[in-house]
Amino acid sequence: MTKDVIALTPTMPDVWALLTSLYAGGSDLDVSAAADGAVVQLHGPGGRPLVSVESPLLVQVPGEAERLLGLTARTPYWWTEARASTAVPEAEKLAGVVCGRLNALLGGTTWPEGAASTKAVDITAVPSAGAGQPAVDVVTDKAAVVLIDRPVIALTSWLAEIMRTAVASRHALQIVTPPHVRLSAPARTTLARVPNRWVVQDPDCGYYDGLSGAVLRWQDGAFSPALSTEGRATVAEAFTRTPDSAVGRQLVVAFRTVHKADDGLLLGGALESVWEALTGSAPGGWGTAEPVNLPWSPRQLTDLARARVPEPSQLIVVGRPERPALATVRITRTTAGVEEDVVLTVGYGPDEELPLDLVRPLAEALVTGHSLKTMLVSVRRARQDLTAAPRLEGPPIPYAFTLGPEDVHAIGVDHARRPPVEVRPVSLGAAARPALHFPLGEAEDVAAWGRLQQLTAHLKGDRSQPSTGVRRG
């Protein structure tokens, strides 16, 4: 298992500050670099890695320490993570001393509270385990297993690197946590992809999948569903028995825009427009991992995406602390131009009204000003803070669907206007080449799934779909 300690300092830890902190375990420890110099490791006798220290990250976005750690920190600050292997009892203390000495030299705070120390640590016996990072706890032919205990598991650069390594080596990534741990929205999306898995260790009912609730067992080198004699998966009682007191509602706006690839292109405008309409302010910051560290800048975002072509860019955008909002953005260069796939989620309290009256004007603005291809707006009952607890959550219920003018034209306006379902489309944009906006019902009307299924089948020209039925995708 690994143990994380994080130092938040107002000043960047320079080389001398890091070296002073790293040698808290004595001069007998070896220091090396990994991940192209982005990680510094402390090794004990025999080459066993004891502590890995990530390169300090300058965070300029308010609210990230509170969102991910439950700490209040004044921006800007430097975020330095020390990760200890619990295979060696002294390693966890050593990580605390590394961060504690950084705080002593530079000021700041440490997470978790009470972990920081400035006393030297004596490293005695170290079991031999070869080289490597203290990041993956168990590796089998099937899975790379990581044990983590922190308030919110975020899609940090460290975790993203482990995921990339697991994919390259054809391993499933399985993250094991206690039941109080939650996932950030980007981490949840990644762990929901097959074959990755979030494994929750519950003291009463053992292991279960934090996203599906399936009871799990360690078998054949990986956690997998424990099937009944009839070959069915069972759902853990812990997944359904405890209501989440933080449940509110989330408004999910998923849209795609396509732009001509020219030198004057500036990305992020569509997202900024939707964000301002729903929250009253522009996005707070953006980045490629969590914590999100850069102030919002469409120009810098565009420059990064352009530099990465032909590879796609995966980005995370966050809002201001007073209104939970988070978006994932995928930017891709295609034969059609430059595509932006955006999923924006905004959190609301259980008694707050959702701004559903803004959905149609938003669709119109995206059609007329941002080359909208498609937009699907949904409502779901889930945590207002946008994190996912290992509890049963309802699926998002579709509220409205918008089809951009190019696709309407390709399908045929007359055909697109007449779906075999009680949906009355509204024309948006230019009358000669309109987009169509399809309201699907009232908020949280489960019958909307059936309407959306029939609508999309009609737009695709699929006549084989039944005229009734509800799909809960």
* Prior bond of 45 cis (ω within 30°): no
Using a cut of 0.85, tell me whether the model's pTM lies above it.
Answer: yes
- 2-111 carries CATH number 3.30.310: yes
pLDDT in tens, 308-350: 999 999 999 999 888 999 999 999 999 999 999 999 999 999 8
Whole-Å CA distances, 388 to 82, 159, 357, 391: 25, 17, 27, 8
| Residue 2 confidence (pLDDT) | 56
> Which pLDDT does position 244 carry in this prediction?
64
374-406: pLDDT as tens digits: 999 999 999 999 999 999 988 999 999 999 999
The CATH classification number of 138-241 equals 3.100.10
Q: What's the burial of 342, exposed, middle or buried (CB within 10 Å: 0-12/13-18/19+)?
A: buried
Task: Please name which of 399, 407, 409, 472 lies closest in space to residue 441, comparing C-alpha atoms.
Answer: 399
Tell me which DSSP letter residue 396 carries: P
Residue 129 confidence (pLDDT) = 45
Helical spans, DSSP H, in 51-152: 64-69, 89-106
Domain boundaries, the chain: 2-111, 138-241, 247-459
pLDDT for position 373? 97
Three-class secondary structure of residue 185 per DSSP: helix
What does the pLDDT profile of the chain (473 residues) look like in tens digits? 458 899 999 999 987 787 777 776 565 677 776 666 677 777 776 667 788 888 899 999 999 999 999 999 999 999 999 888 767 777 788 888 888 889 988 999 999 988 877 776 666 545 444 444 445 778 899 999 988 989 999 999 888 888 888 888 999 999 999 999 999 999 999 999 889 999 999 988 899 999 999 999 999 999 999 988 888 889 999 999 766 666 899 999 999 999 999 989 999 999 999 999 999 999 999 999 999 999 999 999 999 999 999 999 999 999 988 899 999 999 999 999 999 999 999 999 989 999 999 999 999 999 999 999 999 999 999 999 999 999 998 899 999 999 999 999 999 999 999 998 888 899 999 999 999 999 999 988 999 999 999 999 999 985 444 433 333 33
Compute CA 166 distance to the chain's CA centroid, rounded to the nearest angstrom: 17
Say what the pLDDT of residue 28 is: 67
pLDDT of residue 139: 86
Integer-rounded Cα Rg, in Å, for the chain is 25
Question: What pLDDT, on the 0 to 100 scale, is given for residue 420?
Answer: 84
Are the beta carbons of 446 and 397 closer than 8 angstroms?
Answer: yes
Strands (E), 26-96: 30-34, 39-43, 49-54, 57-59, 77-85
Alpha-helical segments (H) within 174-315: 185-191, 237-241, 269-279, 298-308
pLDDT at 366 (0 to 100): 98
The whole-number pLDDT of residue 130 equals 41
* pLDDT for res 3: 80
